[in-house]
Structure 1
Amino acid sequence: MTESANGAVRLDGHLEPVPDEIDAVNLPVTGVLPPELTGRYLRNGPNPLPGETSSHGFLGHGMIHGVRLRDGRAEWYRNRWVRTGRLAGDPFVRPDGTRDLAAVAANTHVIEHSGRLLALVESGFPHALTPDLDTLGPCDFGGRLTTAMTAHPKEDPDTGELFFFGYGIRPPYLTYHRLSADGELVHSAEVDVPGPTMVHDFAITRNHLVWLDLPVVFDGELLGRGMPFRWDDGYGARLGVMPRNGGAVRWFEIEPCYVFHVGNAWEDEAGRIVVDGVRYSPAAWDRIWSAIGGVTSGAGAPVAAAAAQGGTCLYRWVLDPATGRAREEQLDDRWVEFPTLNDDLVGRGNRYLYAVVDDSAAGRTGAVVKYDLRGGATQTHELGGDRVSGEAVFVPAADGRAEDEGWLLSIVSDRAGTGSDLLVLDATDLSAPPVASVHLPRRVPSGFHGSWIPDAH
């Protein structure tokens, strides 16, 4: 990714957009696909139209890439743009100054809840899709949703409720929402934060929500220059704990940092809230944000400075209601992102967490890593060949008893941008060779987040 003289970001190599939508059937497979992997793997990410330029790596139109697996075969691949108002040319800001939440590129995640397949972005409405990835249109849950919707909602594994939020550049800066298990928006409430902070993710536990109020904030002077957010040393950094049914938020001050993605959170036996996530030090934020077209306080911190301040590493925060204090601990020194887990343990005490390693600037090759959060051991699947992995989605085995019995699915591409595979790894042993590789009919640009949608859903 490079920036041209006019401020446009050039996406190349494994990030380069594809120019069209295609369909392919009977995909070749190396290895043996587990027959019980019957469903669709879907992945979202930004993909500008041919000839379009972008001022930031996060701003391209959403494109869903899908692979259909059934009974040990890879039946099809297809990709489709999410047809939002923005794709049709509609302006985000209407003539009266209000925002059109349907005119935003839905380019960040794709999930299913209560029979709805939804493409998500944190700055607009979700967009409903058909099983074949065609766009049905924006979804505001019967007119009840009046804010944007995060790309990282959390589904409670016991109740089936979906918890999410929207943030804005004007008050209310943060709004909490909850869907019932059957997809009805049943609760919304404002959450008081001091300013227009960029809230990309949050966490749930059995009884609480955990908010991230961190020092990356909206700056109106940056409008028209990509993502209009910047680091603000004066904003502060804190995590907030709020009862699920609403009420006061209890805030815990932490060292300045940013967190795009939470791995998980839970309540321990002492009533403390444990939060695991990927922490960006100020130097790491500066370096990475500038590399994708964002405006920073400097020209981007060098690798050595970012590494000395913690890079983008797995961290743990323990929030103690008895003392009102947060304890912070770095769990690993590798530069990682996209933490995932067995979704049956969202908000519960998970043992295993998976993440993508991509610190090539520090001389390390791409990999998928598995953390044993209780025993402290790690397993790593090195990709080799200068390849990079997308988010690794965990799929539980149908008869699995252990938390890690199942597979990790990830689209892997080479940095030169010549090809991509859907990799299937045995989650119990990441050091083993892949269970199977589905060879995709085209290069798939490295993107953001995806989901496994089993046929039983």
Structure 2
Amino acid sequence: MPVELVNRVESTIQPNEHPYMNGAWTPQTEEFNGTDLEVIGQIPSDIDGVYVRNTENPVQQPIGRYHPFDGDGMIHVMSFKDGAASYRNRFVRTKGFQAEQEAGRALWAGLAENPAKSERPGWGAHGGLKDSSSTDVVIHAGRILSTFYQCGEGYRLDPYTLEQDGIEAWTPIDGISAHPKVDEATGELLFFNYSKHAPYMHYGVVGADNKLKHYTPVPLPGARLPHDMAFTANYSILNDLPVFWEPELLAKGLHVVRFHREMRSRFGIIPRYGSADDVRWFDADPTYVLHFLNAYEEGDEIVLDGYFEEDPEPQSSNSAPAGFERIMAYLDQSKLKPKLHRWRFNLATGETREQRLDDRVLEFGVINNQFAGRKYRYGYSAVSKPGWFLFTGLVKHDLESGESWTIDFGEERYGSEPGFAPRIGAVDEDDGYLVTFVTDRIADRSECVVYYAKRLDDGPVCRIMVPGKISSGTHATWGQGEAIRAARGG
């Protein structure tokens, strides 16, 4: 198994019992190139592209309490072509990562700590919270774009070599939130950001040529904490949800998040190149939505699917180690109770209708990206381990028939958000593969696992052994090889 250890990053992490620095969340410090990897089964010859995953991977001993979202971004890529696969992983060389490497210690306190403990002033990714670029990852204009949920800078990497291209030049002064969206039909990237100063939100469009085409304020009543957005062929969908900092405490410099149950949720629908005056706001039941699945236009309606949290402000976890009660609660999907949900916004009447699509606790959904922003049929959601931020399996939904199918990764096997890889010559929407990284606690290794989406009950098509053990994380994506090569001019 030809594996090249490219680099071992210096770390000051000390052995500890933190629940999110052990097990499937054990930090990884080694960067590898791997080819001719051990394979159980056979790699499909009709798959061409890259599966890319971002992970939270701390390098420095934390200042105070560590939250897993504080970890440094590490990108993992499995590349597929002609029935072969190769693997690479690299840390994202953010300004914060480089500064801490030079200092040999942590310079920023994390999400669970008072920002005043940081050696850098202010709040958020441009102040007391390090921009680790460890939350999300998409492929746009032929390159990876990694982002941080607290509106940091966008970092670009080559999707095959993981060569670092640095900070994206068009990054606005208020940064880029995680979850920019790529419209594969046009090549455009849609994004938003948020801040503690008026107008509190902005929205923008970047062209297929990677040039900023549009950037507009979207005024909100105050500081908010939006995490995701959605889009259709002609509109983008933003949100103003009733989970945000307590305003009176925020005025005193305290960042205390509350669910304001008396308030309605608001969804802002804006034409793709619209201005603040064009935004139409629709009221809906109070909730928080961490992630949306997809949206599309149907007659006069905008249809939006996502994960409606039934309890956005859960009680502390009684089983958590001392000091981690709140952290564990907000990472526990079984407490937040996200359910697959549908909103319909009627552009003619201004009416909102809502529908529950599944009563199971599900989150972190993906689709065939070729259907993003368009009417679609299939979605793939992650199943979480109760009490933990760990994925134990996947559920495929047929949103037309109402049928669903389940994958269980197996005992002590924890996967990642999958990517959907359309099969070369695919004839319909679910004709392709689900690709995920799985860490096996019993075998003490990580694998890339591939399933044929039309026959999930058959189990994995193949399992590819990965050098090193991947630390867990949040988001992943799939990029078609043909589209990447076309965007790069070759």
TM over 0.5: yes
Does residue 256 (structure 1) correspond to residue 286 (structure 2)? The answer is yes
Give per-residue Cα distances to partners, 1:304-349, cap 9 Å, x unaligned.
994xxx8111111111234423222211122111111111111111
Residue 21 (structure 1) shift: 2.3
Q: Which sits farther off after the overlay, 434-443 or 37-46?
A: 37-46
* Counterpart position of 2:303: 274
* Counterpart position of 1:206: 233
- Separation in 2 of the partners of 1:69 and 1:56? 33
Amino acid at match of 1:353: G
SS of 1:87's equivalent in the other structure is: helix
Q: 1:7 touches 1:55 (CA, 8 Å); kept in 2?
A: no
Question: How many positions carry a matched residue from both structures?
Answer: 441
Correspondences of 1:211-222 after superposition (within 5 Å): 211-218=238-245
Does residue 16 (structure 1) correspond to residue 26 (structure 2)? The answer is yes
- Separation in 2 of the partners of 1:45 and 1:226? 28
Give per-residue Cα distances to partners, 1:177-226, cap 9 Å, x unaligned.
00111111011000011121111111111221111211222459589x99
Q: 2:246 touches 2:255 (CA, 8 Å); kept in 1?
A: no
> Which of the residues 183, 187, 191 maps onto 2:218?
191
Cα distance change of structure 1 residues 188 and 15 upon mapping to structure 2, 3 Å threshold: same
Correspondences of 1:18-33 after superposition (within 5 Å): 18-33=28-43
Cα distance change of structure 1 residues 226 and 406 upon mapping to structure 2, 3 Å threshold: farther
Q: Which sits farther off after the overlay, 411-420 or 191-200?
A: 411-420
Residue 400 (structure 1) shift: 0.9
Cα distance change of structure 1 residues 435 and 168 upon mapping to structure 2, 3 Å threshold: same
Does residue 56 (structure 1) correspond to residue 40 (structure 2)? The answer is no
Cα distance change of structure 1 residues 30 and 95 upon mapping to structure 2, 3 Å threshold: closer
Q: Which sits farther off after the overlay, 111-120 or 336-345?
A: 111-120
Give per-residue Cα distances to partners, 1:373-397, cap 9 Å, x unaligned.
0110001122221322211111111
Q: 2:293 touches 2:379 (CA, 8 Å); kept in 1?
A: yes
- Separation in 1 of the partners of 2:242 and 2:280? 18
Does residue 88 (structure 1) correspond to residue 98 (structure 2)? The answer is yes
- Separation in 1 of the partners of 2:406 and 2:181? 27
Cα distance change of structure 1 residues 389 and 170 upon mapping to structure 2, 3 Å threshold: same
* Counterpart position of 1:233: 261
Amino acid at match of 1:356: A
Does residue 156 (structure 1) correspond to residue 183 (structure 2)? The answer is yes
Does residue 66 (structure 1) correspond to residue 66 (structure 2)? The answer is no
Residue 165 (structure 1) shift: 0.9
Amino acid at match of 2:302: I
Does residue 452 (structure 1) correspond to residue 478 (structure 2)? The answer is yes
Q: 1:19 touches 1:50 (CA, 8 Å); kept in 2?
A: no
Q: 1:335 touches 1:359 (CA, 8 Å); kept in 2?
A: no
Give per-residue Cα distances to partners, 1:20-50, cap 9 Å, x unaligned.
3233332111111112323332210211105
Amino acid at match of 1:387: R
Q: Which sits farther off after the overlay, 416-425 or 310-319?
A: 416-425
Cα distance change of structure 1 residues 285 and 80 upon mapping to structure 2, 3 Å threshold: farther
* Counterpart position of 2:456: 430
Cα distance change of structure 1 residues 329 and 95 upon mapping to structure 2, 3 Å threshold: closer
Whichever structure has more helix as a proportion of its residues is 2
Does residue 372 (structure 1) correspond to residue 398 (structure 2)? The answer is yes
Amino acid at match of 2:267: L
- Separation in 2 of the partners of 1:72 and 1:253? 49
Cα distance change of structure 1 residues 433 and 417 upon mapping to structure 2, 3 Å threshold: closer
Correspondences of 1:296-445 after superposition (within 5 Å): 300=329, 306=335, 311-360=337-386, 366-414=392-440, 418-445=444-471
Structure 2 unmatched runs, 5+: 1-15, 101-106, 109-117, 485-490
* Counterpart position of 1:42: 52
* Counterpart position of 2:113: none
SS of 2:454's equivalent in the other structure is: coil
- Separation in 2 of the partners of 1:267 and 1:161? 18
- Separation in 2 of the partners of 1:303 and 1:71? 40
Cα distance change of structure 1 residues 192 and 50 upon mapping to structure 2, 3 Å threshold: closer
* Counterpart position of 2:152: 124
What is the root-mean-square deviation of aligned Cα atoms in Å?
3.5
- Separation in 1 of the partners of 2:472 and 2:119? 32
Amino acid at match of 2:81: R
SS of 1:429's equivalent in the other structure is: helix
- Separation in 2 of the partners of 1:88 and 1:341? 35
Give per-residue Cα distances to partners, 1:124-158, cap 9 Å, x unaligned.
111122342232321132xx622211221222232
- Separation in 2 of the partners of 1:303 and 1:42? 25
Q: 2:259 touches 2:312 (CA, 8 Å); kept in 1?
A: no
Q: 1:393 touches 1:451 (CA, 8 Å); kept in 2?
A: yes
Amino acid at match of 1:268: E
Q: 2:136 touches 2:179 (CA, 8 Å); kept in 1?
A: yes
Residue 285 (structure 1) shift: 5.0
Q: 1:15 touches 1:417 (CA, 8 Å); kept in 2?
A: no
TM-score using structure 1 length: 0.86
Q: 1:28 touches 1:74 (CA, 8 Å); kept in 2?
A: no
